[in-house]
Amino acid sequence: MSLSRPQLLAYSLPALPLAIPTVGLYVLLPSWYVEHWQLALGLVGLLLMLARLSDLLTDPLIGYWLDSGHPQRFHHFIISGALLCIPGLWLLIRPPTAAPALALLAGSVLLYLGWTLVQVPYLSWLTALSRNSYQRARAASWREGLTLIGLLVSAALPALGLSLGVSTGQVLTWIALATLLPGALALFWLLRCTPLPTCAQPPSQLPLWPALRDTLLHNPPARTLLGSWLFNGIANGVPAVLFPLYISRTLGGGEADRGLLILIYFGAAILSLPLWLALSRRLHKVRIWQGAMLFAVIAFVPATLLGEGDLLLFIPVCILTGLALGADLALPHALQAEVCDWDRMHFNRERRGLLFACWNGANKLALALAAMIGLGLLQLAEQLAPAQAPWLLALIYAGVPCVMKIIAVAWLKDFPLQLPLRQQPGT
């Protein structure tokens, strides 16, 4: 059955306000703690990694508890998580002067816990919207399209604020305020208008860690998708962390240039979503995703060769890699839903919460490793070869992600769920 537009909107709309803090947290916040609060690059990377590692414990727990209880827990978890995000976000953008490092760590841990409580049930809800693979891809595309609009808002706020002479700290406050009320309204509509998932199969009776081990060891599609998801997440995370520094130190741009280039990048991703969705009706989603990642590698390599005064040459790179980002956003989530179907059919157990928690945890681990790798390598480069620091920054910014993308593509080579389109679930 085809999902109606009101159904798609009710499910996907929360993605817009939930995405508004993203650019601030992943792009502006690390460099703000380095430039404004004088924390060392390596320390910021380490603190962000430690905060992300806490998710490796909470994500599987939340997914397991979600599977083990009544579907009403979808509502309870989302409401609890939204309430936790508020103080975490506020601590990050208003750290006490005497302890900015502690505020970065504590605020990140609190925010990530709340985000997990929202994200795991929200993402796994996709499996219950439809059994049809294309309808799931539609829902994921709507959700990720609204995510990108939220990212555009997140990018536009810094561009507007910095053009008006507003400080980065004030821009981060704008971003937080722009998230709270719209986010509350969108989540209320989701919980009110989207039917709760049904439990077609009983939940796993195993304790958490045996269930987690069983889920990963005996589910080849989940394990394969998890590995590719991790390496691709690192590939996307390294340039996100280093982007402000690359624009200013390598290309010689200003803060206003950062906002404009982010708008171009995410705008291209939004425009590409209908293309990837149309291709998913005719070709295997795995092969499309692999092709998009290879396209991103080819488009990103020139960024390693750019230097002072090359801002205009960087614009085509932003457009082309933004087009590839649309595939990263639309296709893997539909593949995850199909893996949940495979797991339910083969093991006669409902473990979608645990599976999505594993993927969510892998994404957070990827972002933690990206911050550690990107900022750590940059600090090492500045110590060993300060005269070559701008070029080495460009090499880390674009070279490391290209290597990680290639690994992600190779990891998917033997992905087992590559059915002919006529045999896909729901078609």
Nearest-angstrom CA–CA distance, 313 and 77: 46
Question: Which of 261, 226, 230 minimizes the C-alpha distance to 243?
Answer: 261
**Beta-carbon contacts of residue 182 (< 8 Å; ≥ 6 apart):** 16, 17, 20
**Beta-carbon contacts of residue 120 (< 8 Å; ≥ 6 apart):** 59, 62, 63, 66, 77, 353, 356, 357, 360
Q: What is the mean pLDDT of each run of 10 residues along the chain (427 residues)?
A: 85 91 76 87 84 81 84 90 90 91 92 90 86 82 85 78 79 86 91 78 64 76 90 93 90 82 86 87 88 96 93 95 90 84 79 82 83 88 86 94 96 71 41
Is 200 inside any structural domain? no
Q: Give how many domains the chain has, as a whole number.
A: 1
Is 339 inside any structural domain? yes
Is 425 inside any structural domain? no
pLDDT (0 to 100) of residue 355 = 85
pLDDT (0 to 100) of residue 78 = 94
Is 198 inside any structural domain? no
C-beta of residue 326 within 8 angstroms of C-beta of residue 270: yes
Nearest-angstrom CA–CA distance, 194 and 209: 31
Is 422 inside any structural domain? no
Q: Is the dihedral angle over the CA atoms 365, 245, 377, 90 positive or is it negative?
A: negative
Is 426 inside any structural domain? no
**What is the C-alpha end-to-end distance of the chain, expressed in Å?**
10
Q: Which residues of 231-259 are buried (b: 16+ CB within 10 A; e: fewer)?
A: bbbbbbbbbbbbbbbbbbbbbebebebbb
Is 262 inside any structural domain? yes
C-beta of residue 10 within 8 angstroms of C-beta of residue 190: yes
pLDDT (0 to 100) of residue 426 = 42
User: What's the CATH number where 235 sits?
Assistant: 1.20.1250.20
Is 257 inside any structural domain? yes
pLDDT (0 to 100) of residue 204 = 58
What's the domain range around 34? 8-193+205-416
